[in-house]
Structure 1
Amino acid sequence: MLARLALRINTQLERVFPEQRVFLKSDHGTHFIRLRPATQAVMAVAGGLALSWTIVATAILMMETIGAGSAREQSQRQAVVFERRLTQLSADRDLRLQEATAAQDRFSGALEQVSEMQEMLLGSEDRRRELETGIDVVQDTLRRTIKERDEARAEIARLTLALDQHGEAGATEMGRMHDTAATLDFLTAALEGTARERDAKAAETLAAQGEILALQDAIRLEGARNDAIFAKLEEAVTVSMEPLDKMFRSVGLDPEDLIASVRKGYSGQGGPLAPITVSTKGGTLTPDETRANAILRDLDEMNVYRMAAVRVPLGMPVKASVRWTSGFGGRDDPLGRGYRQHEGQDLAGDYGTAIYATADGVVTYAGWQSGYGRLIKIQHAFGIETRFGHLSQIRVEVGQRVSRGDKIGDMGNSGRSTGTHLHYEVRIGGSAVNPIKFIKAASNVF
């Protein structure tokens, strides 16, 4: 059965692979090897498979070689782009610092002007009240003088009528005339004095009214200047607050929670940021005083923002030139242990490069830890922690307080590391977050 099947296969394949014979000649004779069609077909298939495998393996090898070259070029281009971006961020940071300094100077000048204008307004208000009191006195005097004049006229009329109707017994006509003339002279003198006093009071009233009008014009001008200054101050506060609020939100922190946390440990007030108050008699604030108090509250809030920014780890942990290598997120483990989460940012540089604290805090760990090598942990405000791994030297101790910019260690290659670099982490409430957000956010503050 098998022989018949083999014969049929050979018969079918003989059209393509005719039977071949290979002759082998030796000293003992000539021999030949018969190559049947089925054998030739098997050899052809095996050769084709071997050739196909060779072509595919060569193509895969060439693609991996080309891909590796492209990845290196792409990494180099990304490094160049990062360096340019860092240069731009540094220049932008310097510009923001200059603008912040200039804004602070303008704000200080504006505060001095507000203080001077407040004193002028208070003085103008006192003078206005004195003039109003003087005008009331003048008006009372005029009313009293007019009343006395009317009473004197009535008395003259009464005396004249009495002289005409009731003459004294035995008096002569000449005596009555002398009495009448004397009485008229007395009344005339009294009326002339009253008229002069009235004219003087009227002149004083007109002068006081002119001075009141001048003071009202001056008060209106001062009010216009106050409006302009208040508008500039409100604009400056808004421009200064928006970058800080944006910065905190970009790194995942709630500005309201930060402000509340800072105020718990900071209750000092007074000085130029103290609110304007009135006397203890219970007077109400003027619109300008209410507006000034609102600006002072915003300035105090901005000051609290600044205090919170100092406590947040912003900026670079190194000051020397570095290369950005592995970033935050998933990646292939460099030691071949599969796909893993990378919880920090790697910065490669020279061995022994100085490492600095990125915010005020307390050192909670300084020693060797598996994987990290030589590791430093610093606890900051608001539940934020920074970690500095793979160091060559540790220059702080547990419990030591550090400030932003203090040198804490040197870059190295300790622990699970394939080269000299710094592994920098930022954690909030124990959970790792992307340190790049904090580094970029520094351009809005410093």
Structure 2
Amino acid sequence: MNDPRIIIDENPMSLRQWAVVVIMIMLNALDGFDVLSSAFAAPGISAEWGVPRSELGIVLSAELVGMGAGSVLLGGMADRFGRKLTMLACLVVMAIGMYFAHAASGVTPLTLWRFLTGIGIGGMLAATNAVVAETTSKSSRSIAMALYVIGYPLGGVIGGFAAQAWLLQVYDWRAVFLFGAVVTAIMIPLVMLIVPETPAYFTARRGDGAVAKINRALRAFGKPQITELKAISTSAPKPKVSDILTNSRLRPVTLLLAFGYMFHTITFYYILKWAVKIVADAGFSQPEAASTLTYANIGGAIGGLIFGFLMKRWQIRGPTIAMLLLGVVAVTAFGYGQDTLWGWRMMAFFAMFTTNAAIVGYYSAFALGFPAYARATGTGFVLGVGRLGAASSPIIAGFLFDALGNDNLLPVSAIMAMGSVISAILFMLLPLRDGDADLGDKPADPKEAV
């Protein structure tokens, strides 16, 4: 057997492979905390600088705009220079952005540093998604992907408990960003020591010494080694990362995933970015309001985990569409408001339970729909377009509150929930099967069809 991807697919997972998955979960959790750190800090920022909701929405969107740029620019870097190098570079950028955000003296510098942090997060998401897809066996991939995706809300849970029980109690909002900078820096040596470059990356890039590099990665995972790589016909068109938009099979997958994900993130980030501020304005303290987002992320983690098992049984399409539509109901219900803190927590819990489960479906579709040579580029492009929705979400909600009034939570929530309705329609139209198989790299597996 001289195909490293089939070797990874068909052999049982080793301890090193699971260790890599755990590191990817931790990196996704770090991304989740970094993104939500501005939401935890939002009431304190507003109180210290007197920032109105419409302007605060721009601050909350800064890292999301950066994530869009980072996903496109640094996602391509992961396909060109490697997943590991890209992750290390992104960690450095994120640590710098988080540190200087804590020292910001006004809205403008804070917004700029949050934008820089977002660039690092965007590139990180594209690379880590590819690593999970390329280091897991076929039988374990759907569960590993679900565990990876729930790392994002898990970071919110851990960060939420740290914020409400410690950082916001003992210090102020600046401590949230400083905490994120320290944890980000700690992850750099862990990635350097534990995560090897993926065999699929070396297989796709070829080049001098490709077999030796592939075998080094296979040895790290405790897998059989290869003697040679299957020759590629010189008369066949050479695959390019631009195929995501020019290849007749990949283009509709790319565009439907990109715009479907974009509309869903409008709904998804409405809860993540505004829940703390909404609950604080309902008369609860800043730590109490932050706890709402903690419970929202607990819901997201549980929803993502359960969805992973559903996806293993029923594949991707049906469960994802169901969660998208249930998310519409849950986000709209959030708009009815609550009289008690536990009422707010439960509404946020169910909103994120459903919306994050749908995110798991999308991430699995990214891994399945793009071939290895363009997987990080395709994922990065989809995430980049998707961040347009994420970045616009807090801004749209902020202006809706200004236009309709802060007391009109229900109509604002119902409007924001419509993003997931459009997303469900686009996901219904999605043609999806194994990206590598469709391009002739390995036999198609009918079980991996949507």
| TM-score (norm. length: structure 2) | 0.21
Name which one, 1 or 2, has greater alpha-carbon Rg. Answer: 1
Which is bigger in relative contact order (C-alpha 8 A, separation at least 6)? 2
Higher strand proportion, which one? Answer: 1
Higher helix proportion, which one? Answer: 2
